[in-house]
Amino acid sequence: MFIGHFLAAFAIAASVAAWRGWPEERALAVGAVAGSFATLPDIDMLYAVVGLVGSLEGAFVTSDTFWAIANEIHRGATHSLIVSVFAAIGFAAWRARDGYNSGAGTLGGLILGGLILIVTVVGGIAPGAVVAAFVLAGVGLVTVAERVGLGPRAVLGAGALGLLSHPFGDVLAGPSPALFYPLPTESGLLNGQILLNPDPTLHLLSAFFIELTIIWMGLFVVAQLRGWRLKQHINRRAALGVAYASAIFAIPVPTVETASPFVFTVLTVGFIGTPSRSGWREDRSIQLIDAVATALASITLAAAAYTVTYLVLLG
C-alpha cells in the first residue's frame, strides 16, 4: 500500500500542476512532494520496529508479532484528518519562514509543537513520540520542497492532499483509521474494513487490482509529462505473466490476513521486465521505462490469470 499511497497523491498533484500550465519538472516535483507526504502517516510503523528491537524476540520476528506490536499505535494519530489539516497548515507556515517573515515560522512551530503536546496529553508518551517523528519527517519534506523551489502554497496543497488522502487508502485492508483523533468520537464514516466482495479472496484480489490501477495511473502521468508512449515500452515477454495462474496449486489461497505468499510471489513475476543483456547498451532512461512498464504489465496479467483460475476452480 505504500506505493499506492505515494502514486495516488503524486498522480493527482502532478496532473493538476500540468493542467495549470506548470513546467514538466515543477509538476513532477510537486507530485513527488505530495506523494511523499502521503506516505508520512505510516511513520507510526516505527513504533513496531523500536518495540521489536527492544524486545528479546527481536531476532525471531514473525509477521504476527510485528503486526501485534504495530497495531497498538498504527492508524491512530498520524492517520487523523484533524491532525492532518493542522499539520499541513503548520508545514506550510514553516515553509513561509524567511528573514522578512519570521512570524510564519514561529506560527508553524507553535502549530506543530501543539500537535505533539496535545497527542501526548491525550494518548500518552508513545503516540506523542510517534507524532514527534511525524512532525520532524514532515519538516524534512518541507526542506526538500524548499530546495526544489516549491513555495508555501504548493507545500500547503501537496501536504493537505497527501496527508488527507492517506487514511482513505487504508480502508480496504484492515481496521479503519481513527479519522477524528483526538476527539472522543467514532468516525461514523468508516466503521471497520470496507469489503469489496463477501469472498475474502476476491476482496483481496479486488484491492490488489485497485492498487495496480493506481500504479498504472502514476506511470501514465509520468509518461504524459515526459512524452513517452507506454505501449511502445511494453515487451512481449510480459505475456509470460499468465503462467502465474498455476500458482493457485502452489500457495495458500490469499486473504487480507494471509496475503504475503501471494503478494511476494506475484511481484516476482515483475522480473520479466529485467532488460536482456543485448539491451544493456541502450539509453538508461529507455531501459528504465521499458523495465517498469513490462514488469507492471506482467504482474497485471499474472494477477488477472490467477483471478480467472480462482473463479473457475474455486469461486
Model pLDDT, residue 228: 83
- If pLDDT is split at 50, 70 and 90, which confidence band does 46 have? confident
pLDDT per position as a tens digit, 176-227: 777 888 887 654 455 556 777 889 999 999 999 999 999 999 999 999 998 8
Model pLDDT, residue 18: 94
pLDDT per position as a tens digit, 101-119: 668 888 999 999 999 999 9
Model pLDDT, residue 45: 81
Model pLDDT, residue 93: 93
Distance CA 70, CA 72 (A): 5
Distance CA 139, CA 248 (A): 46
Distance CA 197, CA 213 (A): 18
Model pLDDT, residue 262: 92
Would the pLDDT of 65 be above 70?
Answer: no
pLDDT per position as a tens digit, 222-231: 999 988 888 8
Range 269-293 burial, b when 16+ CB lie within 10 A, else e: bbebbebeeeeeeeeeeebebbbbb
C-alpha distances in Å from residue 285, one per residue of 3, 51, 185, 217, 237: 21, 41, 50, 19, 19
Distance CA 67, CA 42 (A): 13
- If pLDDT is split at 50, 70 and 90, which confidence band does 256 have? confident
Model pLDDT, residue 193: 61
Structure pTM?
0.86
pLDDT per position as a tens digit, 47-62: 655 554 455 444 455 5
Would the pLDDT of 90 be above 60?
Answer: yes
